[in-house]
Amino acid sequence: MQLFIDSAEISEIKKAAETSLCDGVTTNPTLAAKAGRDYNDILKEICSIIKGPVSAETVSPDADGMVKEGIAFSKIAKNIVVKVPMTVEGMKACQQLTKKGIRVNVTLVFSANQALLAAKSGAFLVSPFVGRLDDIGKVGMDVVRDIKQVYDNYKLTTQILVASVRNPIHILEAAKIGADIATVPYSVFEQLFKHSLTDAGIKKFLEDWEKVPKKK
């Protein structure tokens, strides 16, 4: 399973890239607002660090506007993927951008039916938001499981990108289902490396190493 970083913070993206375990980046208007810089500048810088897909989100309400924004984003770098929302206009934009050879990530997906429409519209990626479903008392991962089954049934090639990830359990569940990608906040990415027994084990080995006789 590929791991993307869900962030517009260059320092986080650089740290993730240094591990060579970050396969791509997703951004959205909320993350861009947090970063507090021009969105195009942020995207350009991210694309210079990460060679994998970098998602840039459109904000126009209509398909024409989304297509215009998408074409402009696609000129920033080859690895840009254009994010459009799961709406009727979003699907029209997805179809048009895909026809132009621009890859699309359909975002704000909360059901397998929406994911089916995204795949039929030629989406490169589909983003089910698991955390936001959990927040309203639904099981977000059930939607991912349904999408996987539907896509497998019809050999649909749209990749499932599990988004709105809040913890390492989400990532494990996504991997067990066979999702293609999980996009994770940097804090969750860091958590993946950690285990208290690993820390305790290192501490003990270092203490014992001190007791090993060394030649002068």
Which residues are known to be catalytic? 83
Closer residue to ligand G3P, CB minimum distance, 74 or 164: 164
Size of the site for ligand G3P (CB under 6 A): 9
Q: How far is the CB of 211 from ligand G3P (least distance, A)?
A: 47
Contact 171, 192 (CB under 8 A): yes
What is the number of the residue whose Cβ is closest to ligand G3P? 164
Q: What is the C-alpha to C-alpha distance for residues 67 and 80, in angstroms, rounded to an integer? A: 14
Distance CA 4, CA 2 (A): 7
- For ligand G3P, which is the closer residue by CB, 36 or 213? 36
| Beta carbon of residue 122, minimum distance to ligand G3P (angstroms, whole number) | 21
CA triple 163-167-169, angle to 5 deg: 95
Residues facing residue 85 across a β-bridge: 107
For ligand G3P, the closer CB: 94 or 211? 94
168 belongs to the binding site for ligand G3P (CB under 6 A): no
Query: Is residue 159 near ligand G3P by the rule CB under 6 A?
Result: no
Cα–Cα distance between 196 and 199 in angstroms, integer? 5
Closer Cβ to ligand G3P, 155 or 175, answer by number: 175
Asked whether position 131 contacts ligand G3P by CB under 6 A, the answer is yes
Rg (CA), the chain: 20
Least distance between ligand G3P and beta carbon 64 (Å): 24
Tokens of 124: 């490169």
Does position 129 interact with ligand G3P (CB under 6 A)? The reply is: yes
Identify the sign of the CA torsion 132, 136, 141, 145: negative
Q: Establish if 74 lies at the interface with ligand G3P (CB under 6 A).
A: no
Taking each helix axis from N to C terminus, what angle separates 88-99 and 63-74, rounded to the nearest 10 degrees? 40
Which residue from 163, 177, 181, 188 is in contact with ligand G3P, where contact means CB under 6 A? 163
DSSP-H helix ranges across 1-155 = 10-18, 29-35, 39-49, 63-74, 88-99, 112-120, 130-135, 140-153
Of 3, 4, 5, 6, which lies in the binding site for ligand G3P, with binding defined by CB under 6 A? Answer: 6
Cβ at position 132, least distance to ligand G3P in Å: 5
Binding site for ligand G3P (CB under 6 A): 6, 26, 28, 129, 131-132, 163-164, 183
